[in-house]
Amino acid sequence: MTEEVAQITEPTFLDRITSLLEYDASSPLIFNSGLFLFLFVGFMAGYRLLRRATSLRIIYVILFSIYFYYKSSGIYFMLLIFASVSDFIIAHEIARATSQRLRRWLVAASVAINVGMLGYFKYTNFLIEIANSMFGAGFLDFQNIFLPVGISFFVFQSMSYTIDVYRGEIRPLERWTDYMFYLSFFPQLVAGPIVRAKDFIPQIRQPLMVTREMFGRGIALIAIGLVKKAIISDYISLNFVDRVFDAPALYSGFECLMGIYGYALQIYCDFSGYSDMAIGIALLLGFRFPKNFDAPYKSATITEFWRRWHISLSSWLRDYLYISLGGNRRGKWRTYLNLMLTMLLGGLWHGAAVRFVLWGALHGVALALHKAWLAVVPKAKIAGRDMHPVMRMLGIIFTFHIVCLGWLLFRAESMQEVHLMLYQIFHNFNTAIIGQVVAGYGVIFAMIAAGYVMHFMPERVDMKLSKKVGEAGFWWQVALLVVVAWCVMQVKSSDIQPFIYFQF
Amino acid sequence: MTKPSDDYASRGLLVAATTLALLIVVSFIPPINAGGVKLRRASIVSDVVNHSERVSQGVQELQPEIDVKEFEVDLESVAEQVAKTTATASPTGEATSASWEGIFDEQPTGGDTPSKAAPKLDMDLEALLPDESLLTPVEVFGGKGNDMELLYEKILSGKPVRIAFMGDSFVEADILTADLRELLQDTFKGGGSGFAPMASPFTAYRQTIKTTAKGWTPYNIMQRKSTPAPLNGDYFVSGWVAQGSDGASTRWEMTSRRRHLTECRRARVLFISRNDSEIAIRINDGEQRTFSFTGSDVVRQIVIEESNISSLEMQILSGGKGITGYGAEFEDIKGVTVDNFSIRSNNGQAMFWTNPAVNAQINSMRGYDLVILQYGLNIMQSERKDYSLYAQQVEKMIRFVKNCFPEAAVIVMGVSDRSERDEEGFKPMKVAENLSEWQRKAAKECNAAFWHTYNSMQQRGGMKSFVANGWAGKDYTHINYAGGREIATGLYHGLLYSLQQYMLTVRQRMIPAEPVLDKELEILPPELNLTDELPAELIPTEQTQPTQTEE
C-alpha cells in the first residue's frame, strides 16, 4: 500500500535535481544548457581555489571531466580511462624501445587499439549492414552497441600523441594524470576541436594565467558560439531546413535551394558555434586551442575550403593519414589516390553511413581535380586573397556551390531524396512564388541572411569585438551573456513556425 | 583602474556566477504579451521548478473560428442536382462508358457482381486486434441498421468495398491511406492503389503510383476562383481537374511500395469530353486501343479490365481542348479499394465547391461504400475551446456526402494531435480534445461514425514521440509515411474492433438459448435488432427476439 502511494507522489525538488544530475543518454551535458552553467559556476569556484596547487587542480579537472562524460555516456567513461592508460604506457615503451622494428610494432598497436575501439563502437552495425546487403538480409544480426559520446574525437587525440612520440616530435609525459588531463579535458571532450598533444601538453603545468585578451576573446567566443549554435542553427533547422529535407516534393525548387543554403549555414553554425564555445571556455580556464573554423565559405577554391573548415580535423587527417599514406611524395597518381582515400575515410569519420562516404568522395574528387588544375595552370592560386577580386568572387560562388552539393549528399537520407531535391531545383524552381516564400518565412530568411552576413564580415571585425569585450567593464560582460542567454531561451521556447504552402 | 592582467582568472568565476544569479532572477519574470509580441518566460530553472504557466498566461485574443461564407452550400439544390443526374445517366443519350475487356480466369462484369453470399460471421478477427492500450474503436452512431452495419455486411459478404478518404495535407501523397489500404487489402482482399489524379504538381511525392503527365494544365479546387470556365464547374471531390490538349498524355505505373499494388485487374479513366474526341489507351506498354467520344457534358469513363495491368497510358489524339481530366482508378475486381482525396489547406469546405452532378455520376460508376472525412487541423487555435460553428459545418459535410454518395457510410475522423511549445518543451495542443469532441457531436447528430485520431496518437506517444521517432515533420503537425502507418494501423484496428462487435451481436441473435451477453456487447444500443439486415437463411426460425439481459 505504501509503495503504491510512493509511486504516485510528485517528485520532490531534490528528486528532480538528482535525476537531472544522473546519467541520461538523451540529455547530454551541453554548453548551451542551463545545467551546464550551474555546474560551471561550481566548478570555477574550485578551480579558482586550487589555482596554485597545480597537481591537485589537474586531478580536480579530471574528476569534473569524467563526470561531464558520465552524464552523457554512463559507464563508458571507463573507455576514456582505458585509452589514456594504454596510450600512456605505449608511448613510454616507444620512447624506451631501442629497435625501430619494436617502435613500429608499438605504434601499430596503439593505432590498432584506438581504431579498433572506434570501429567496434561506431562501425560494427554499418559493416553488418553492408554484409547483409551483399549476402542477403539476416546474414548477420545487428548488434545493440552504444556509441559513447565523443569517441571519434578522443581516439584521434590519443593517436596524435603516440604517433608524435613515435615520430620523435614530442617526449612522453611523465605523469599519467597529465595525459588523462589532456585526453579528458571537458571543453573539447565531446565535440572537439581535436587538440594535438604537442599543442596542449606544454600548457598543462604552466602557471594558471588568463590575460585580459584571453578573457575578452573567451567571453566573445562563448557569446558568438551561443548565437550561432543555439539561436541560428537550432531555429532554422527546426523551422525550415529539416522540413525541406524530410519531404522535398512538398516544396518548390526555390524552397529546396534555400533549404540547402540554410543547411550549409546550419551545419557551419552548429559545428563552429560549439567549437567556439569550447575554445572560449578553455580560454577562461587559461588554455589556448588552435582555431577550428576560419569563415570557410569565404574560400575561393576547394583546397582553401579544407584549410578553413574544421581545421583541427583536416590537419589531423593531413598529418596522420595523408602523410602516412605517402602524401604527395610518390608521384602524381599516388597523390590523387591518397587524397581520395583520405577524404573517403574522413567522410566515414563523420558517421557510419554511405552518405558520409559519398560526401567524402565528392570532396576527394574535387580536391584531386583542383590539384590537377594547379599543376596544369601554373598561375592558378589556392587562396582567394592572392586572386583578382573578380576571380575571387567567382571562385567563392563556385566553391560554395560545390560544398553545398556535398552538404546535400551529407544531409539527405537517401539518393532518392538527393535526386528529388535536385529535380525540384532544376525542373520546378517556381520563381513566381519567391516573394511569398520570403515573406512567409520572414524570420527564418532574416536569420539565414544575418548568419551569412556575419560569416562574410572581415576577420578584423571579429577581433575588434573580442577586444571590446575584453576592455568592457564587468557589468557589460555580464549583460552581454545574460542577453544572449535570454535570447537563446526565447528561441528555445518560441512557437513552431507553421507549415506554409506556396505552390499549387 | 588597471588590473594586473592575470587577475582575469578569477573574473571568469565572477562573470559566470553573476550571469547565473541574474538568469535565476529573470526566471521569475512571468510571460509578457507586449504589443502583440509574445515574450516567453526565460527560465533557467524550468527543469526543477514548475511555473504553472497556463494560469498566468492570461486570455489571448481569439481569432474568428471559421469564415462561414466559405462553407455556404444549398443542400436542397445539391439533392436536386443529384436526383436529376441519377434519373438520366446521360442527358444527351451518349454512352458514358467505353470498355476494354480482357481475358480472365474469372469473368468480371464491369460493375459489381451482386453477391448473394451470406456474411461470413465466423471470421476470426481476435488475432488481428492489438492490446487494449493501443485500441481506439470506431464509434458507431445511429442504432439499428445504421450505415456502418450495411458496410460491415458488404465486407463480410465478400462484396467489393470502395472507400473515399477525403482529407487535407495531412494525408497528401497517399500518406496514411497507403497503409490503411494495404492493411484492409491484407485482411479483406483487393488490390490497386485507388484513385490517381490526371496531373498535379505533387505526383512526384506519391510513392504508391508513379504518374507522368504531359500536356495538361492542372487546377486545384482551392484556386477555384482562378480556374477558367467551364473547368471551374467540373470539380469532383478529388479536388483536381486538368485541362487537356491534343497530344496530352498521362502514364500511370504501378509500384511495389506497398503490398497488392504491383498489378491490378481493373482501371477506369475518368474525364469529360465536351467536344468529339479520340483517346488512345495503352496498357503494359504494349497493346493500344482507340476510343471515340461524341461531345457531351457528362462524365465519361473508359473501363479497362485485364488479368494484369501494371502500367496504363492515356493519350488524347483529338478533341483535347474540350477535355477535363480527372484521373484514373486502379482496383481489383473484388476486395477493398481506398481512394486518397487530399486537398491542402482544406477544412472540408472544398467539397461544397465541387459539382454534385459530377460526384453523383462518378458514384454511379464506382459506388462508394464508405467515406472518411479527415479535417480540422487548420481550424485549431491554441486558446479556443468552442468549435460549435465548425461542428455545424461538419454536419453539412456529412449531409453533402450522403447526398452525393447515398450508399456510403461516413466516418468522421477527429483532429490529429499537434504539439505546441513553451519553455518546458513540446506539449500536445490540448484544444485538440475540444475540437475532437465537437467533431464527435456532429457525427453523432448525423448518425455517422467517429474515430478519435488524437486519442490513437496519444496511445502511440503523441506528436512529440512521433517527431522523435521520425514519424512526423518538425512542424509537429504533419506526419510522414511512417507516421501514417501508425495512424492507419490505429484506424484499421478501430474498424476491425467495431466489425467484431457487429459480428458478435449478429451471432448472439442467432443463439436462442443462454441469454448471456459478452461484456463487449454492452456498448451496443439496446434497441439494436440486426436480424432485419441478415440474409433469410441466417435468421434462426425459433426465436428472433434480441437477447438482452439486465445484468
Domain ranges of chain A: 19-204, 212-493
C-alpha cell, A19: 535525476
The pLDDT of residue A441 is 87
**Alpha carbon of B269 to those of B99, B198, B211, B214, B266: distances in Å?**
10, 9, 13, 16, 10
Nearest CA in chain A to B32: A490
Interface of B with A in 268-307 (CB under 8 A): none
Quick one: closest CA in A to B29, which residue?
Answer: A486
- Secondary structure (DSSP) of A364-421: HHHHHHHHHHHHH-TT--SSGGGS-HHHHHHHHHHHHHHHHHHHHHHH-SSHHHHHHH
pLDDT the model gives residue B514: 54
Given an 8 Å threshold on Cβ–Cβ distance, is B15 in contact with A477? yes
State the smallest CA–CA distance between residue A327 and chain B in angstroms: 42
Q: Could you report the per-residue pLDDT of B176-214, keeping only the tens digit for each?
A: 999 999 999 999 999 999 999 999 887 877 889 999 999
Max alpha carbon distance in chain B (Å)?
109
Asked if pLDDT for residue B115 goes beyond 80, the answer is no
Question: Is the pLDDT higher at B70 or at A247?
Answer: B70
CB contact residues (below 8 A), chain A span 194-223, against chain B: 208-212, 214-215, 218-219
Consecutive H or E run containing B277: strand B277-283
Exposed/middle/buried for residue A287 (C-beta within 10 Å: 0-12, 13-18, 19+): buried
* Domains and their CATH numbers in chain B: 11-61 (no CATH), 78-91+122-190+336-510 (3.40.50.1110), 93-107+191-333 (2.60.120.1360)
SS3 B76: helix
Q: What is the mean pLDDT of residues B383-392?
A: 92
How confident is the prediction for chain B on average, in pLDDT? 85
Q: Is A350 a catalytic residue?
A: yes
CB-CB neighbors (< 8 A) of B2 in chain A: none
- Which among A482, A493, A503 is the nearest to B19, CB-wise? A482
How far CA A270 is from CA of A32, A234, B427, in Å, comes to: 11, 8, 25
Residue B117 predicted with pLDDT over 70: no
What is each CA distance from A499 to A238, A303, A502, B470, in whole angstroms?
A: 11, 39, 10, 17
Please tell me the predicted confidence (pLDDT) of residue A9. Answer: 60
- pTM reported for the whole predicted model: 0.78
**Contacts B427 to A, Cβ<8 Å:** none
8 Å CB contact of B48 and A16? yes
How many whole angstroms separate alpha carbon B342 and alpha carbon A317?
Answer: 51
DSSP structure string for B383-418: T----HHHHHHHHHHHHHHHHHSTT-EEEEEPPPP-
C-alpha–C-alpha distance, residues A418 and A424, integer Å:
10
* A-chain residues near B43 (CB < 8 A): 489
Other CB atoms closer than 10 Å to residue B447's CB: what's the count?
17
Q: B13 and A48: CB-CB below 8 Å?
A: yes
What is the pLDDT, as a whole number, of residue A112?
94
Q: Do A428 and B8 touch (CB under 8 A)?
A: no
Contact A13/B at CB under 8 A: yes
Q: Do A503 and B201 count as a contact with CB atoms less than 8 A apart?
A: yes
Chain A residues touching B40 at Cβ < 8 A: 489-490, 493-494
List of chain B residues whose C-beta atoms are within 8 Å of the C-beta of residue A242: 473-474
Q: Where are the alpha helices (DSSP H) in B192-335?
A: none
Which residue among A92, A310, A350, A455 is the active-site one? Answer: A350
Predicted confidence pLDDT, tens digits, chain A (504 residues) = 444 444 446 677 777 777 777 777 777 778 888 888 999 999 999 998 888 888 899 999 999 999 988 988 888 889 899 999 999 999 999 988 888 899 999 999 999 999 998 888 888 888 888 888 888 777 777 777 777 878 888 899 999 999 999 998 889 988 999 999 999 999 988 887 999 888 898 898 888 888 888 898 999 999 999 999 989 999 999 889 988 898 887 788 899 999 999 999 999 999 999 999 999 999 999 999 999 999 999 999 999 999 999 999 999 999 898 888 887 788 888 888 888 999 999 998 888 888 899 999 999 999 999 988 988 988 888 888 888 999 999 999 999 999 999 999 999 988 888 998 999 899 888 888 888 888 888 889 999 999 999 999 988 898 888 888 888 888 999 999 999 998 988 888 777 766 665 544
Q: What is the ipTM of this complex?
A: 0.82
| Interface membership of A478 toward B (CB under 8 Å) | yes
Greater pLDDT, A94 or B51: A94
Chain A contact for B475, CB < 8 A? Answer: yes
Geometric angle at alpha carbon B459, from B455 and B464, rounded to 5°: 95
In A167-317, where does DSSP find H-type helix? 176-184, 186-189, 197-204, 212-226, 234-236, 242-246, 253-284, 302-308, 311-316
pLDDT tens digits for range B474-492: 888 889 899 999 999 999 9
Torsion of CA A476, A479, A485, A487, to 10 degrees: -110
Apex B113 CA angle, B108 and B116, nearest 5: 140
What pLDDT does residue B551 have?
31
Residues 418-437 of chain B whose Cβ lies under 8 A from any Cβ of chain A: 419-425
Torsion of CA B470, B471, B472, B476, to 10 degrees: -80
Gap between the Cα atoms of A302 and A366, Å rounded: 7
Cell of B297: 457534358
Contact assignment for B13 to A474 by CB distance below 8 Å: no
Whole-angstrom distance, CA of residue A41 vs CA of residue B312: 70
CA dist., res. B353 & res. B343, Å (int): 12
What type of residue is B25? V
Residues of chain B in contact with residue A285, where contact means CB-CB under 8 angstroms, are 12
Judged by phi (left if over 0) then psi (alpha if -120 to 50, else beta), residue B103 lies in: beta
Q: What's the rounded Cα separation, in Å, for the pair B104 and B536?
A: 33
CA gyration radius, chain A: 24
